[in-house]
Amino acid sequence: MPKTIETPLGTIAVSEDVIATTAGIAAMDCYGLVGMASRKQVKDSLSELLGRDNPGRGVEVRIRDDEVYVDLYIIVSYGTNIYEVAQNVREKVRYVLNESIGIAVDKVNIFVQGVRVTTEH
C-alpha cells in the first residue's frame, strides 16, 4: 500500500519500494555500516544472479493508516560502537526520507544481524 501525500495541487503516491530504496541508500552512507542483511533470501539471490543492484536490500517498510515504519537489518564493522552506528543510521534514514520524499517516519527499527571484520592493507 503506497504512502499518499495530499497537496493543494493533487495527490502523490510513493510506493514502499521507493521508500525502502531511499532508506537503504541513506543507510549505506553511514560510518561503521558494512552492509545490509538480506531479509528476502530468494528475491535477493535472484537479483544477484541476474546482476541487478538492490539498494533496498535489508529494508522493510510498513505503512499502516497514516504511519510509516522502517525496519533496517544491518551488518556493522568490528571495532565500532554498535549503538552509535545504529543511532547514526536511524537519524540519517529519518532525515533523508523527510527531506527527499517528504515523509515523516514514525519508527525506524534497527536490527544488527552481524559484525564483520574488515581487512585493510
Please report the beta strands in the chain, taking only residues with DSSP state E, as ranges in sequence order. Answer: 3-7, 10-14, 33-36, 59-64, 67-77, 107-116
CATH dotted code for 3-116: 3.30.70.1350
How far is the C-alpha of 103 from the C-alpha of 19, rounded, in Å?
Answer: 9
For residues 76 and 82, the answer to whether their CB atoms sit within 8 Å is yes
User: Could you list the pLDDT tens digit for every one of the 121 residues in the chain?
Assistant: 888 888 899 999 999 999 999 999 999 999 999 888 876 654 555 444 434 467 788 899 999 988 999 999 999 999 999 999 999 999 999 999 999 999 999 999 999 988 988 666 4
* Global pTM value: 0.82
Enter the DSSP assignment of 106: S
